[in-house]
A = this chain, B = another copy of it.
Amino acid sequence: MYAVIMAGGRGTRFWPESRERMPKHLLDIAGERTLIQETVGRIETLVPAENILIVTGLSHAEELIRQLPQIPPANVLIEPVGRNTAPCVGLAALHIKRKHPEEVMAVLPADHVITDAKEFCEVLPIAAEMARQGNYLVTIGIPPTRPEVGYGYIERGALRISVRGRDIYEVASIREKPPLETAEMFLERGGFYWNSGMFVWRVDTVLKAIETFLPDLHVSLIRMEKAIGSDREKEVIDREYTHIQPMSIDYGVMEKAENVLLIRGDFGWSDVGSWDALWEISGRDEDGNVASTCGHFVGVDAKNSLVHSTGKMVALIGVKDLIVVETEDSLLICKRGRSQDVKKVVDILEKKNMKEFL
């Protein structure tokens, strides 16, 4: 089996910790290791390092290679520009195809958190077994715990099979991020799962699906395939990427394909999409505070807050539901529940051309 780790994100939602040169997956916001180190560490128990490919952008490759000394640098594939997940999956599939055209590849986002790595390592091989049989696009669905409007949903169809206690379903429908009422209905009715963005399929199967549903991308992939390994590789990839349309694998392929299977991923998953989400998944003290600071923390009547600092003494008095992030050059203080607006601050900084803070 191969693993393809998608590490293309900018992660502006974790400003001021995340920056243009230091996106979310390269940060240690959720533990001692960075998110990509955690992601690689989890999959390494199932896939040898030489079979782990990482797709990223040029500006992050150096730091990524530094963080992952066990990964051969040749396995770090550079996209000249981000075009969402479909081209990323296609490019990785081309590389694997050269050696093992029928091998299974697991596609994993670099910047998600999984608290139960053991269960993850039980589920993934089952997904791979199904994918190996041939014509299936296997997606991992997360049992929802709240009516989240920030995720896409997958509606399960008929039960296909149960392997070592894990049920595998056909897929009835794939839904884009729903409004709150719909999300509440999904949760109430049951049978809906969060789309985790984790997929398992054979290289030939996914390339065939791209050919069917994204023919333009497939043409570009064929041009790139011919150039890979030659002197013209970079030139051709650069040229093709300039006119490839941005497209997610979810919308471009999964929503249209018939041969999709769903396996439950009940392993404490979060995409940690915001500082709010980080507070949600973090261990809290008796006052509900998360103090992931290298320094000291003193709370006087301070509740349900997240403090993330570089090493200062941080004192909170009489406050609740705050997100406090202090970095070398910036300080963010945000009401909990409002961390989607971190994007607005980044927009303001961009508009003011304050590049040093981006």
Q: Is A185 an interface residue (CB 8 A)?
A: no
| Alpha-carbon gap, A332 to B324, bound state (A) | 11
Inter-chain contact A341/B298, CB cutoff 8 Å: no
How near does chain B come to A54, taking the closest CB pair, in angstroms? 31
Inter-chain contact A313/B341, CB cutoff 8 Å: no
User: B residues within 8 A CB of A315?
Assistant: 16, 330-334, 342, 345
* Cβ proximity bits A340-356 to B, threshold 8 Å, 1 near / 0 not: 01101100110000100
How near does chain B come to A24, taking the closest CB pair, in angstroms? 18
Inter-chain contact B354/A301, CB cutoff 8 Å: no
| Alpha-carbon gap, A296 to B16, bound state (A) | 13
* Cβ proximity bits A68-80 to B, threshold 8 Å, 1 near / 0 not: 0000000000000
Q: A315-B16, A357-B313 are in contact. Are A300 and B331 (CB under 8 A)?
A: no
User: B residues within 8 A CB of A332?
Assistant: 315, 317
User: B residues within 8 A CB of A16?
Assistant: 313, 315
Q: Is A338 an interface residue (CB 8 A)?
A: yes
Inter-chain contact A316/B333, CB cutoff 8 Å: yes
8 A Cβ contacts from A310-337 to B: 312-319, 322, 324, 326, 329-335, 337
Q: Is the interface of A mostly helix, strand, loop or mixed?
A: mixed
User: B residues within 8 A CB of A344?
Assistant: 300, 317
* Chain B residue nearest to A297 in the complex (CB): B331
Inter-chain contact A298/B333, CB cutoff 8 Å: no
User: B residues within 8 A CB of A331?
Assistant: 309, 312-315, 324, 326, 331
* Cβ proximity bits A287-318 to B, threshold 8 Å, 1 near / 0 not: 00000000010101100000001001111111
| Alpha-carbon gap, A354 to B16, bound state (A) | 28
Q: A298-B345, A301-B341 are in contact. Are A330 and B312 (CB under 8 A)?
A: yes
* Cβ proximity bits A264-301 to B, threshold 8 Å, 1 near / 0 not: 00000000000000000000000000000000101011
| Alpha-carbon gap, A313 to B333, bound state (A) | 11
Inter-chain contact A318/B300, CB cutoff 8 Å: no
Inter-chain contact A316/B334, CB cutoff 8 Å: yes
Q: A301-B341, A345-B300, A348-B298 are in contact. Are A330 and B314 (CB under 8 A)?
A: yes
User: B residues within 8 A CB of A341?
Assistant: 300-301, 317-318
| Alpha-carbon gap, A332 to B315, bound state (A) | 5
Q: A16-B313, A313-B354, A329-B312 are in contact. Are A318 and B334 (CB under 8 A)?
A: yes
How near does chain B come to A19, taking the closest CB pair, in angstroms? 12
Inter-chain contact B335/A298, CB cutoff 8 Å: no
How near does chain B come to A14, taking the closest CB pair, in angstroms? 13
Which 7 A-B residue pairings sit nearest by Cβ, starting from the closest?
A: A318-B338, A318-B335, A317-B334, A313-B330, A315-B345, A314-B331, A317-B341
A-B contact pairs, 7 of them (CB 8 A): A300-B345, A313-B330, A314-B330, A315-B330, A315-B331, A319-B333, A326-B326
